[in-house]
Structure 1
Amino acid sequence: MKFTLLFILTVWVKSLRSGCSPSCIHPPGKWCSSLDSAVQCGVVKQCLESDFLRSRQTADPVHVELYYESLCPGCRLFLTHMLLPTWVLLGDIMSVTLVPYGNAQEKPDGQKYTYVCQHGEPECLGNMIETCLLNMTDMAFHIIYCMESSSDVLGAAESCVKVYAPELTTDKLMSCVKGDTGNQLMHQNALKTKALTPPHQYVPWVTINGVHTEDLQDKAMSSLFMLVCDMFKGPKPPACGGSKQQHYRSYCHNE
C-alpha cells in the first residue's frame, strides 16, 4: 500500500512538472485511459480525483437513449448541441446509448435484411457506419459527434476515425459495414426501435431510464442538462450545483 501511494505521488509530481507538455498525443477522451497517457498529458491529479468521485457514487446513473437517423437534421442538432455537451459535463452521473435506425424500414432478404431509409441510401450507409463504430471502438460517441457536426457526414467519417481511433482501419470498418456483422447489428437496432413503448412517432426520440413521455421529450430537447441533474438520485455533482464545488487549478504558465 505504501509503495502504491509513493508511486502515485511520484507520478503525480512528474505530471505536474510536465503539464501542458507537447508530448501529449492523445485526444481528451483518452487522457485518463491509462497512467501513461495521464502522465504525458499532465492530468494525473484530475484523473485520480475523477476516479475517486466515481468510486463514491452509489446512485444509478441517469440512462439516456437516443433513437435517431444519421442524416436527420433534428437528430444531428440534438446529438451535437445537446447530448454530447451534456455527457461531457455530466458523464459521471449519466450513461448514453445511441441507436442509429430511426424511421428506416427493414425487409427480410434470405438470411439477411435490406433497409430503406427516410433520407435515402446515403442515410442507410451512415446508419450502418455508426452502428459498426458503436460495436468496434469505445471512442464511437466522439467519432459520431465528429461526423454529425460536419457539413458532410459521410465524407467526414474517415478523417474522424483517424483522429479518435487511429487503430481502426478503413478496411476493418467497411468489412463490418458491408458484411454479415453490420447487417445483424442493424437488425438488432431495428428490433429495439420497433419494441419501443409507446412506438416512436418521430426522431430524435429520447428515452430516460427506458421511459418516453412527451414531457420528458420536451425537457430533454430544451435542456437535457437540467433534466439529468434533476433526475439523478444521488448527491448532485458540482456541475449541477452540488455543495462541494471542485476547482481545476491547472495552468500553462508563460515561461
Structure 2
Amino acid sequence: MQVTRLQSVTGLSYTVAMCNRTGTGCIRTLQKVKLTLYYEALCPASEEFVVNHLYKIFENGLISIIDLKFSPYGNAKISSNGTIVCQHGEWECLLNAVEACAIHAWPHVSDHFMIIHCLESLCHEDKYAQWRTCFKKLNLNPKPVDDCQTSGLGHKLELEYADEIKALKPPHKFVPWVVVNEQPLNEEYEDFMSYICKAYKGTNVPHACKGLTDPIVVYKDNVKPLNRQVSFNEED
C-alpha cells in the first residue's frame, strides 16, 4: 500500500492510503463502510463539518475503510420551469454546481475532496466569491469545471443529486445529512467516525478506531435540540 501526503490550501496535511498496482494491503470495496454526505454550499453547519470534521478521516487513515460520497444539492428545489432554486440564493446554486462538476472532473475521492475542502473553507471565511482561486492554489486546470458549467452538464448533475436526496428513506431533516451504510445519523452526525468504526466488519481495523468509543444510542424522546447552524428541509 502506497501512502501519499497531501497539503491543503489551509495548511492541513493529509496522509492518504492509496492501493498499489497489485492491490496488496488495500481494503476491498465490499468491506468498506459507505459514508454519504448530503450538503449544500453556504450552509454554516455544512461548511463546519467539511472544514473541521470530515478532513480528519484523511489525516488519521480512516478513509482506507470508507467509501465516501458527496451529494452537493441539499434543500434546493426545482421550479416549474426546470430551474433550481437554492435556500441561500444564486451563489449557493453556483457553488453546488461547481462542486458537482469537480466531483465529475476528478472522480477519485482524495482529488475532489481537496477542492471541496478549499471551496467550503472559502465559504466558511465568507470569501466564497473568490472560489476560482482554489484552482490556482491546488494547481488544477479549471477548464473541466468551466466546460461542465457552460455545457449544461453541471445542471444535469445537480438534477441527479436532487433525485438522490429526494429518494432518501427516511427523508432528510436538514443538512449536513450524514448517512452511514444507509442509516442516517441525524443529530449525532459529528460522531460519524465512531459509527463508521462500529459498522466496519473487516479484520484490518485502522488504528484511529482504537481510540474511539462506541456511539451512544440516542432515543427519539431524548434527542437534544440542535445548537448548530444546520439548514432545515423546508418541507418538514
Normalized against structure 2, the TM-score is what? 0.71
Partner of 1:176: 148
Find runs of 4+ consecutive structure 1 residues off by over 6 angstroms. none
> Which structure has greater strand proportion?
2
Partner of 2:198: 230
Instruction: Confirm or deny: 8 A CA contact 2:19 2:26 kept in the other structure.
Output: no
- RMSD of aligned Cα (Å): 2.7
> What is the total number of aligned residue pairs between the two structures?
191
1:158 aligns with 2:132: yes
Q: 5 Å matches for 1:13-28?
A: 28=6
Mapped partners of 1:141, 1:206: distance in 2:
16
How far the C-alpha of 1:52 sits from its partner, in A, is 3.7
Q: 1:59 and 1:124, CA in 2 relative to 1: closer, same or farther beyond 3 A?
A: closer
CA deviations on 1:25-64 (whole Å, 9 max, x unpaired) are: x9727xxxxxxxxxxxxx9xx986xx64316x58611111
State which of 82, 91, 98 in structure 1 corresponds to 2:63: 91
CA deviations on 1:171-191 (whole Å, 9 max, x unpaired) are: 442231233211111110111
Instruction: Confirm or deny: 8 A CA contact 1:67 1:99 kept in the other structure.
Output: yes
Instruction: Confirm or deny: 8 A CA contact 1:86 1:224 kept in the other structure.
Output: no
Structure 1 gaps, min length 5: 1-25, 30-42, 243-255
Mapped partners of 1:81, 1:114: distance in 2:
32
Q: 5 Å matches for 1:77-226?
A: 77-89=48-60, 90-109=62-81, 113-137=82-106, 138=108, 139-150=111-122, 151-152=125-126, 154-166=128-140, 168-169=141-142, 171-212=143-184, 216-221=185-190, 223-226=191-194
Is the radius of gyration larger for structure 1 or structure 2? 1
Q: Which has the higher contact order (CA 8 A, sep 6+)?
A: 2
Q: 1:179 and 1:60, CA in 2 relative to 1: closer, same or farther beyond 3 A?
A: same
**Paired residue type of 1:129:** V
How far the C-alpha of 1:224 sits from its partner, in A, is 1.9
Q: Quick one: percent identity of the two aligned structures?
A: 34
Q: 5 Å matches for 1:47-66?
A: 52-54=24-26, 60-66=31-37
